[in-house]
Amino acid sequence: MKRRPWQRRRDEWLLTLPSLGWLLLLFVIPTALVFAMAFRPVDPYGGIGAGWTLATLRSLGNPNYPAIVWRTLWISAATTVFCVLLAVPAGYGMGRAPAAWRSRLLLLVIVPFWTSFLIRVFAWKLLLHPEGPIKRLLLFLRLTEPGAPLLYCSAAVLLVQVYTFLPFAILPLYAAAEKFDFSLLEAARDLGASRATAFRRVFLPGVRRGLLTAVLMVFIPSLGSYVIPDLVGGTTSEMLGNKIAQRTFVDRNLPHASGLSALLTLAVLAPLAAMWLLQRQRAPWLAKEGE
């Protein structure tokens, strides 16, 4: 029984409309609203006033902001570098483990992240506490001074960011390493490559896509980080996300918060667009074999 084209078209729309409609209404329009509201004045009751203004745009030139944007970028970049540096060997180790071990190792990586995100950040707050175990150990080893803070600084933010985002780097790299043919490494060694050269010239290009996914999966959410700098960072480690929340909840200045969110959206879209272009070149948007 062959369906007529108009029936197929109607079925397609029926199946697409619920999600398409929902996301247009509650994702696309709100995102557009962020850009529009940045040009609205603030009203004295913490709402949005009538008319249009460039006041928000001008106040983004405030000398505080470049420093915060810069800090957001470097903390995100550093988080990404550390995550990839740890995830490449970890993914390699998991990919090379005997098959029976692989699923167990995978479970071991995932299980801690079934716990609440807030609770994991809180655990670090305890660990890094001035009377906490890490401080005591470092003092005992004479690696730190009694007055030096471990908490409420950029280093603490970076550490907890790496802790939180590391699985997002390990999973794509493990997925890539699992498909990688490790006998290629042995072939490279037989042909005279050193261990380091074989790793760099054969393994890394082989897991290239996993590497790219890992970088984006860490870098993009990290740009919008808010809870981590809020809970373990101090005033000198605020990121863009903290400013957005502060403008929203403390100053009740929604237009200003919108301006900052628009800025963050643009910062996120740039790497995302780069990824889309790279993926388009390699494979069409979805493999559609057998249709």
Partner 1 sequence: MKRSRLPLVVLAAVLAFFYLPILVLVVNSFNAARFGGSWGGFSLIWYRRLLRQREIWQALENSLLIAVGATAVSAVVGTTAAIALHRYATRLQRLHYSLIYTPLVIPEILMGMSLLLFFVALGLELGRWTIFLAHVTFCISYVAMVVLARLQDFDFALIEAARDLGASAWVAARRVLLPLLAPGIVAGGLLAFTLSVDDFVVTFFVAGPGATTLPIRIYSMIKHGSPPLINALSTLLLAVTFAAVSVSQRLIKRSAS
Q: Is 270 a binder of partner 1 (CB under 8 A)?
A: no
Distances (CA, A) of 113 to 54, 166, 173, 177: 43, 10, 17, 21
Instruction: Considering the complex, state which of residue 63 and residue 291 has its C-beta at the smaller distance from partner 1.
Output: 291
Instruction: Considering the complex, state which of residue 19 and residue 281 has its C-beta at the smaller distance from partner 1.
Output: 19
Q: Is 137 a binder of partner 1 (CB under 8 A)?
A: no
Q: Is 132 a binder of partner 1 (CB under 8 A)?
A: yes
Q: Is 253 a binder of partner 1 (CB under 8 A)?
A: no
Q: Which of 137, 265, 273, 280 binds partner 1 (CB under 8 A)?
A: 265
Q: 78-107: which residues touch partner 1 (CB under 8 A)?
A: 86, 89-90, 92-94, 96, 105
Distances (CA, A) of 239 to 3, 58, 173, 279: 55, 20, 28, 30
For residues 291 and 77, is the Cβ–Cβ distance under 8 A?
no
Give the helix, strand, coil percentages of the chain, each rounded to 5.
75, 0, 25
Nearest to 180 by CA among 205, 214, 155: 205
Q: Which of 10, 47, 179, 194 binds partner 1 (CB under 8 A)?
A: 47
Instruction: Considering the complex, state which of residue 59 and residue 102 has its C-beta at the smaller distance from partner 1.
Output: 102
Q: Which of 272, 273, 274, 278 binds partner 1 (CB under 8 A)?
A: 272
The Cα–Cα gap between 198 and 114 comes to 36
Q: 211-240: which residues touch partner 1 (CB under 8 A)?
A: 216-217, 220-221, 223-227, 231
The Cα–Cα gap between 162 and 90 comes to 14
Q: Is 27 a binder of partner 1 (CB under 8 A)?
A: yes
Instruction: Considering the complex, state which of residue 112 and residue 149 has its C-beta at the smaller distance from partner 1.
Output: 112
For residues 226 and 241, is the Cβ–Cβ distance under 8 A?
yes
